[in-house]
Amino acid sequence: MTLALTEPVNRTILLLDIEDFSRRDDVAQACLRRELHNVVEDTLAEAGVERNMQYREDRGDGLIVLISADIPKTALLRALLTSTPDALCQYNRLASSSAQMRLRMVLAAGEVALDPKHGTVGGLVGHDLNQSCRLLDADVLREALAKRDTDCVLAVSPSVYEGVVRHGHRGLRPDQFHHAAVSVKKDRLDLWLHDPLLSATEAPVPAAAYRGSGDVGASGAAAGQVPAAPATAPPDRGVAVTFSGGNASFGGSQVVGDQTGVSGGRVTGDVVLGSVRHEDRSEQA
């Protein structure tokens, strides 16, 4: 019997994936899967997410977690930035080298529907969920985790950054997130990558300059950089001309010879410097 597709509802989308999961043997994989659930339990509990406010779908090397929109995203972000790294650190301190766990994480939001089928598990569908999964699979997120000594790396979707992060709520620092344009499966998407070591000179693109369509050029805006504003040139006040008797001085340099119509003071308009031909004088007369 096939059940009808449920109506799409708005959910906060949390995605997690274990680094190098497929390279481990079966025993290590089983250990990692169990510990991943423990880490998620700690994180959601810290954010105040009850069991009836979440839906989890096991993906083997990762998890899809849908969370009620009633849970503040600020609370989830604070937990992901504090409780998750702490839980991973405690686990990795005691785990063998073959069972070390490092995570890529994405926090997004959007409309998700459930299309259950009798005898199977899962059935989540939705464009927003698909796009979130593509963000989790982006090379920039994989590379960020590979380059760091930390146990996890977090990225957020444009809607989460614009609606929550950039406002600087308690525990969230917008200057620690930078924008990246990514290409995954022929889609050009945007994400905001958390980097606590991001320096002040590498400030993220301000909200006014950010274009959520993903059409970001190859200049500094694509790498999260703000192009430097050109220096403001001082107003052009011209050159000061000083007349003393029949001589003119330009910034200290004196011009000698005949000057026509000059008797001292500041003069505007045309000034004739040097000797004037006799025929010109007769014309002026």
**DSSP string covering 26-94, please?**
HHHHHHHHHHHHHHHHHHHHHTT--GGGEEEEE-SSEEEEEEETTS-HHHHHHHHHHHHHHHHHHHHHH
**CA distance readout (Å), 105 to 18, 36, 135:** 9, 12, 9
Q: Are 155 and 141 in contact (CB under 8 A)?
A: yes
Q: How confident is the model at residue 269 (pLDDT cuts 50, 70, 90)?
A: low
Domain ranges of the chain: 9-223, 241-284
Which tokens sit at 82? 């504090």
User: Residue 95's beta-bridge partner residues?
Assistant: none
Q: Of 1.20.1530.20, 2.60.40.1760, 3.30.70.1230, 3.50.50.60, which CATH number belongs to 9-223?
A: 3.30.70.1230
Task: Tell me the per-residue pLDDT of 37-90, one tens digit each, with 9 for 90 and over.
Answer: 999 999 999 999 999 999 999 988 999 999 999 999 999 999 999 999 999 999
- With CA atoms as reference, report the closest residue to 191 among 170, 169, 210: 210
Write out the DSSP string of 148-159. Answer: -SSSEEEEE-HH
Parallel, antiparallel, or unpaired: how do β-strands 103-114 and 152-156 relate?
A: parallel
CA–CA separation, 131 vs 157, rounded Å?
Answer: 9
Percent of the chain residues topping a pLDDT of 90: 59
**Cα 152 to Cα 227: distance, rounded to the nearest angstrom:** 30
What are 167-209's pLDDT values in tens digits?
999 999 999 999 999 988 788 999 999 998 864 445 445 444 4
Cα 202 to chain centroid distance, Å, stands at 11
C-alpha dihedral (186, 191, 194, 199), degrees to nearest 10? 100
Per-chain mean pLDDT for the chain: 79
The pLDDT-based confidence of 216 (bands split at 50, 70, 90) is: very low
